[in-house]
Amino acid sequence: MDKVGKEDQNFGMRLFVLLIFLLGLESCSFSEPPLPPVRENRELVVMTRNSPTTYYEDANGNYAGLEHDLAIMFAEELDVNVRFVVATELNKIIPALTKKQVHLVAAGLTVTPDREKILRFGPPYQTVQQQVVYNDLHLEPRSMRDLIGKNIEVVAGSSYVERLKQVKKQLPKLKWREVTDVEIEELLEKVANGEVGYSIADSHFISLVQNFFPDLEVAFNLGKPEQLAWAFPKDVDPYLLDKATTFFGRIQQDGTLRRLLDRYYGHINRLDRIDVVTFLEKTNSTLPDYLKLFQQAQEITGMDWRLIAALGYQESHWEPLATSPTGVRGLMMLTGDTADRLGVNDRLDPKESILAGARYLLTLKDSLPDRISDPDRTWMALAAYNNGMGHLEDARILAQRINLNPDSWTDMKKALPLLSKASYNSKLKHGYARGGEAVIFVENIRTYNDILMKFNPPYKAPIMNFSSAKERSRLGASPIHLDKSTKP
């Protein structure tokens, strides 16, 4: 064989070896190795989902959500750091857990028979109901049989797929589409907008989304109520599972879990469909007229304009000439005495009213004990805006007497309505008050605020540089004296 022939043969051999090597590499697994135990690495790795019921960034740029808060508290109890891994698709969660690429999943997972075959679940912390949803412009289905031949979409990898497979055994003609590129909230929005015919979701999620999209309606419940729980690998480290069991037992016993659930879901069912529709209409027709005034109030007080606007809507539906039989007037419904203390010349002037109402709410917040943190601090200040600081303080004293937490809005929602009962108010400094009305007042504002945050971006106020106390006073930023017995 000549020299050229040998070189061709050698080249061919090298190419063959290279191909075999590459094929070998392709067949190898490059998945990440299992995580070391939490105690060994001093880090808890939690997989979650980006949604309003689990883990999200709030208006202030901080992370929040029920699952976020629970995981943070659990890591503190373990005395380790926590690292969140956000799943881009629901159907990628269980594979990541079974490969032990995370220690646990805190993503609002439903405990189902199929999942229990491959996972371990911790103690349940919430009960939900699967429901079929549709757009109210369509004919309401009465049963799954009515959905045969309809456009049904559900999130791939969800417990809803598992339930549909069970139904299909009785209804072989039932078909649906499993989508991977959307989260549940986005899919429900598509149903509300008529882009998708029908879908399935958990009751708490639907109630939350209905406040943003009132055309979304519930047709019927699907199956029996189910429970949500954290998920662990089947061969979970016994230490971690034992700690999680103890953790959930404690927070259920001491009321922490109840307060967390109330923080995220306690207000979502307060408004009916007509309330939400009317509010959404007014955000388009009326809010633009006062948007700059609400934003200016944020510049001066530092409070989010959307909260101030939600307060204004609850008070007057953004009607600057509103007047009540008791004499409160204007867009923020101020009393004459409060307006005088705030230096308001004309309560019917929306510019004066909005700024004064925001300043008054800020004063109420500042007057509360420093140990009360947000969001409870804000909700209590709003209750005082409605009932007066004196009555709020009475309710806090009463809460202590009946073994409730006076620094928790969840517990204060139980104490405030008792102010209308003679057996309680007769022993309090300020006597009778419609405390139940204050609770409704606050819960409505919470929902309006949620809606405004959903559809309106935050406002980045310019830095205020007051050159003198006189200018600060002129802009309405100076503090006011608060008489705890007064109302707005």
Q: What is the pLDDT of residues 361-370, one digit of tens each?
A: 999 999 999 9
Structure tokens at 422: 């003679």
Amino acid at residue number 161: V
Residues 54 and 3 in one domain: no
Element (H, E) at 269: none
Range scoring the smallest mean pLDDT among 335-339, 381-385, 386-390, 467-471: 467-471
Gap between the Cα atoms of 374 and 25, Å rounded = 53
Q: If pLDDT is split at 50, 70 and 90, which confidence band does 23 have?
A: very low
Residue 487 lies in a domain: no
Q: If pLDDT is split at 50, 70 and 90, which confidence band does 61 have?
A: confident
Calculate mean pLDDT across residues 31-44.
Answer: 88
Gap between the Cα atoms of 124 and 78, Å rounded = 20
Residues 103 and 175 in one domain: no
Catalytic residue among 67, 315, 352, 443: 315
Q: What's this model's pTM, rounded to 2 decimal places?
A: 0.83
pLDDT at 124: 97
Residue 182, pLDDT > 90, answer no
Residues 108 and 234 in one domain: yes
Pairing mode, strands 226-228 and 104-105: unpaired
Residue 451, pLDDT > 80, answer yes
pLDDT at 486: 43
Residues 288 and 344 in one domain: yes
Range scoring the smallest mean pLDDT among 5-9, 40-44, 109-113, 156-160: 5-9
Given CA atoms 67, 69, 74, 75 in this order, what sign does their dihedral have? positive
Element (H, E) at 48: strand 43-48
Residue 249, pLDDT > 80, answer yes
Residues 385 and 296 in one domain: yes
Residue 347, pLDDT > 80, answer yes
pLDDT at 483: 53
- Mean residue pLDDT across the chain: 89
Q: Give me the domain span that covers residue 4.
A: 1-30
- For residues 188 and 133, is the Cβ–Cβ distance under 8 A? yes
pLDDT at 17: 42
Residues 299 and 177 in one domain: no
pLDDT at 283: 97
Residue 344 lies in a domain: yes
Residues 113 and 141 in one domain: no
Higher local confidence (pLDDT), 219 or 468: 219
Residues 237 and 189 in one domain: no
pLDDT at 107: 96
Residue 13 lies in a domain: yes
Higher local confidence (pLDDT), 300 or 138: 300
Q: If pLDDT is split at 50, 70 and 90, which confidence band does 24 have?
A: very low
Residue 461, pLDDT > 80, answer no
Q: What does the buried/exposed string (b/e) look like for 310-340 if buried means 16 or more CB atoms within 10 Å of the residue's CB?
A: bbbbbbbebbbebeeeeebbbbbbbbeebbe
Catalytic (active site) residue 315: yes
pLDDT at 443: 97
Residue 201: Cβ-neighbour burial (10 angstroms; 0-12, 13-18, 19+): buried
Structure tokens at 180: 């991977």
Pairing mode, strands 216-221 and 130-135: antiparallel
Q: If pLDDT is split at 50, 70 and 90, which confidence band does 233 have?
A: very high
Residues 308 and 211 in one domain: no
Residues 106 and 138 in one domain: no
Residue 9 lies in a domain: yes
Number of folded domains in the chain?
A: 4
Residue 483 lies in a domain: no
Residue 34, pLDDT > 60, answer yes
The Cα angle at residue 46 between residues 42 and 49, in degrees rounded to 5: 160
pLDDT at 447: 97
Cα dihedral: 107, 112, 116, 118 (round 10): -70
Q: Where are the beta strands (DSSP E) in 401-481?
A: none
CATH code, 212: 3.40.190.10
Residue 398 lies in a domain: yes
Residues 341 and 453 in one domain: yes
Residue 376 lies in a domain: yes
Pairing mode, strands 153-155 and 177-179: parallel
Residues 446 and 387 in one domain: yes
CATH code, 455: 1.10.530.10
Question: Which residues on adjacent β-strands are paired with residue 104?
Answer: 46
Pairing mode, strands 43-48 and 104-105: parallel
Residue 68 lies in a domain: yes
Q: What is the pLDDT of residues 69-86, one digit of tens each?
A: 999 999 999 999 999 999
Residue 473, pLDDT > 60, answer no
Gap between the Cα atoms of 409 and 416, Å rounded = 10
Structure tokens at 419: 């102010």
Return the number of other C-beta atoms located less than 10 Å from residue 437's C-beta. 16
